[in-house]
Amino acid sequence: MLLTKEELPKVALNEMNEIHFEEVDMINNLYDTAMSGDYEKTKKLFDEFIEHIEDHFSFEEDLMEQNEFFAYPMHKMEHDNVLKDLYNLREKFEKTKDTKLIANFLKEGFIPWLINHLNTMDTVTASFLTGGF
């Protein structure tokens, strides 16, 4: 296990927290599988993980657009950058079949990114959406 739900920053909008919690389960599962070295299973879970992230980001982006959130472009740019990293990683992973690439990325790249993103962009966005300021 890499990450517990308690370690995850909570935001003011519960629908967002729910999606983040689902992601924690997927990250832990994917990490354990990647560490086991099973390529096929890692690939399946990694594809599902990417799909979940795409849905996660579009959910937030739709809400921001509908509510004319002022920092929408900045928030979306952070999403787009990490998605780009994920697509590049998928290419490299499918070429090398090295499951450690995925485990390393989760541990060194994605989790620090996610915690920072939740503490900044998602926190401000959720406060705005719930009328906190």
The footprint of Fe ion (CB under 5 A) covers 60, 122
Minimum CB distance to Fe ion smaller for 27 or for 122: 122
Angle CA 35–25–113, to nearest 5? 80
User: Least Å distance between CB 117 and Fe ion?
Assistant: 6
User: Least Å distance between CB 56 and Fe ion?
Assistant: 6
Minimum CB distance to Fe ion smaller for 2 or for 82: 82
Token pair of 82, please? 């990490």
Please report where in the chains the tokens 């399946």 appear, as a residue: 44
User: Least Å distance between CB 67 and Fe ion?
Assistant: 14
Provide the greatest CA pair distance for the chain. 48
CB atoms inside a 10 Å sphere around CB 60: 24
User: Least Å distance between CB 41 and Fe ion?
Assistant: 26
Minimum CB distance to Fe ion smaller for 3 or for 122: 122
Q: Residue 5 half-sphere exposure, CB side, CA atoms within 13 Å? A: 9
CA distance linking residue 63 with residue 46, whole number of Å: 26
Minimum CB distance to Fe ion smaller for 34 or for 64: 64
Closest residue to bound Fe ion by CB: 122
